[in-house]
Chain A
Amino acid sequence: MHDLFREVHELFLATQFTGFMSKTVSRCNLYEFANIFFKHLTWLENDFIKRGEEYNYSVNQIPIKVDKLSMMINNIINRIESIEKKLDSCKDRDIVFRMQSDFNYIKLALKNIPDEDVSNCFDTKREYPNVKLTDEARNALTLFLFEESYKEYELIMVYNYSKANSSDAFLNRIFQILIDESFFHLRSFGEIMADMGILTVPRTIMEEVYKFNDLKQFLKDGIEEEIGAKEECKRLAEAVSSSSEYFASFFTFINNQENYHIALMEEALEHVS
């Protein structure tokens, strides 16, 4: 069951990041499939919790550097087939049935995805289409994208763990909103990384990051981090404003979204205080 859980987590990441590579409508399909695999992960997680069994979010490195989209599509199908062989390790037959049913359809749908050249997602040129970035803006943006793509993935998993292990409806509503918001940010950053030729899957998260004991302290630290992220977005918006009106506007938009995240975390903090 632990191998099954890890492989489903890896499948979710591989599919999500393959979605970033596509420049066609296939991106939407891959996003939807990634959502379904993430849902599978939460089902298996809930089964661990019901049985009182420890689990973690450790994953192996996921190589995605390919020239053609079809290479990743085949990789995803192979991952699904490997998972299918391990489904019996989950004793909840309803979960297994639902997962198998999803896999049957998704494998067929994946085979119909047209091929694309995706080599530019990994060429490290660090250029954005139709935008002339200064060296300073390019470097600041590169570092930001690496930091924040990891951070958003980390936040998705941290809030997901907190939600899975809490029965407080008020908090869980907030955690779910924060998960959804982090998904949006991860996807925004992932798409830019692919366009700039620096796409990569974030590293695995250390267990102590999501298995914390003090929710109040976690929320306080989270608010501080969001304030830091706001400042970074403001700096970036300034750094890229002369190069790109679009990027400046994008980072101002992300900056203002952080206000909402802070408000949600403050609401949660008040609830647990």
Chain B
Amino acid sequence: MNAESIVMEHMMNPQNYGEMRDSDAIGIGKNPQNGEKVAIYIKVREEDEPIIEDIKFQAIGCTTTIVAGSIITTEAKGVSFSRARELISLTLGMLDKQTPEDAACTEMVVLALQAAMDTYLERKKDRDFPIISYIIKTDCTPKEEER
């Protein structure tokens, strides 16, 4: 399957989309420039370190956000928190290879994942810890609009 057909598959059948009513933690990634946001819900299993047993996401955003959410949550399902952090770091390191609009969507998804894991860890100390939201740093203004 080539890259184009993988993207098409995620566009037509986004994986892990929807709400998780019995999640252990929720995290939010936001783009203040256009009001778009991503919510990631995780169900965690405790072993030597926490494992993302199940994951879902919802978004107020564009198709690129949905494709990024589908791909990233698929990658994050079943992995440990430390592996998920590597995935986040790897993805953030590759943002400059994308257009600003696509990079903003991808960053919003990985920050939501980061926020969900951070919320989970905080809630182990304090059950009432609020849902963490992170704001993206990427400026998604298309170049022609800047001029």
- Which of chain B's residues have a CB closer than 8 A to the CB of A61? 13, 17-18
Interface residues of A in 121-159 (CB under 8 A from B): 122, 124, 142-143, 146-147, 150
CB pair A58 B12 closer than 8 Å: no
Q: Does A203 contact B (CB under 8 A)?
A: yes
- Residues of chain B within 8 A of A58, CB atoms compared: 18-19
Q: How many B residues, CB 8 Å from partner?
A: 17
Q: Per-residue 0/1 for A200-243: is the Cβ within 8 Å of any B Cβ (1 yes, 0 no)?
A: 10011010110000000000010000000000000000000000
**Can you name the residue of chain A whose Cβ is closest to the Cβ of B59?**
A206
What is the CB-to-nearest-CB distance from A157 to chain B, in angstroms, rounded to a whole number? Answer: 13
Taking a contact as CB atoms under 8 Å apart, the answer to whether B63 and A203 are in contact is: no
Q: Footprint of A on B, CB under 8 Å? A: 5, 8, 11-14, 17-19, 35, 39, 58-60, 62-63, 66
Across the two chains, which residue of chain B brings its CB closest to A150? B63
Which residue numbers of A lie inside 8 Å of B, CB to CB?
Answer: 58, 60-61, 65, 122, 124, 142-143, 146-147, 150, 198, 200, 203-204, 206, 208-209, 221
Contact B8 A198, beta carbon cutoff 8 Å: yes
A143-B63, A146-B63, A147-B63 known; A124 vs B8 contact (CB < 8 Å): yes
Verify A124–B14 contact, CB threshold 8 A.
no
Partner of A60, one of B8, B18, B63: B18
CB distance from B29 to the nearest CB of A (A): 14
**Do B13 and A200 have beta carbons less than 8 Å apart?**
yes
How far is B12's CA from A65's CA once the two chains are assembled, in angstroms? Answer: 10
Closest chain-B Cβ to A200's Cβ sits at a distance in Å of 4
Whole-angstrom distance between the alpha carbons of A236 and B13 in the complex?
Answer: 24
Chain B interface mostly helix, strand, loop or mixed?
Answer: mixed
By beta carbon, the residue of chain A nearest B18 is: A204
Chain B residue numbers with a CB within 8 Å of A209 are 60
A206 lies within 8 A of B60 (CB): yes
Query: How near does chain A come to B98, taking the closest CB pair, in angstroms?
Result: 15
Q: Which residue of B lies closest to A60 (CB)?
A: B18
Q: Residue among A200, A204, A206, A209 with the most chain B CB within 10 A?
A: A206
Q: 5 interchain pairs (CB within 8 A)? A: A61-B18, A203-B66, A204-B18, A206-B39, A208-B60
In the bound complex, what is the Cα–Cα distance between A142 and B11 (angstroms)?
10
Question: Which residues on the B side are within 8 Å of A65 (C-beta)?
Answer: 13
Query: Is the beta-carbon distance between A124 and B12 smaller than 8 angstroms?
Result: yes
Which residues in B have their C-beta under 8 angstroms from that of A143? Answer: 63
CA distance A204 to B66 in the complex (A): 12
Q: In the complex, A60→B59 CA distance in Å? A: 15
Min CB gap A50→B, angstroms = 26
Q: A198 — which chain B residues lie within 8 A by C-beta?
A: 8, 11-12
Q: How far is the CB of B72 from chain A (nearest CB, A)?
A: 16
Top 6 closest A-B pairs, CB basis? A200-B12, A146-B63, A124-B8, A206-B58, A203-B17, A147-B63
Cβ–Cβ < 8 Å partners of A124 in chain B:
5, 8, 12
> Apart from A124-B8, A200-B13, what are 14 other A-B pairs with CB-CB below 8 Å?
A58-B18, A58-B19, A60-B18, A61-B18, A65-B13, A146-B11, A147-B62, A198-B11, A198-B12, A200-B11, A204-B18, A204-B19, A206-B59, A206-B60
Cβ of B12: which chain A residues have Cβ within 8 Å of it?
Answer: 122, 124, 198, 200
The distance from the CB of B116 to the nearest CB of chain A, in whole angstroms, is 16
Which residue on A lies nearest to B64, using beta carbons? Answer: A143
The residues of A that contact B39 with a CB separation of less than 8 Å are 206
Chain A residues with CB under 8 A of B59: 206
Residues on the A chain within 8 Å of B63, using CB = 143, 146-147, 150
Report A230 CB to chain B, min CB distance, Å.
16
Q: How far is the CA of A203 from the CA of B65 in the complex (A)?
A: 12
A124-B5, A143-B63 known; A204 and B11 CB under 8 Å?
Answer: no
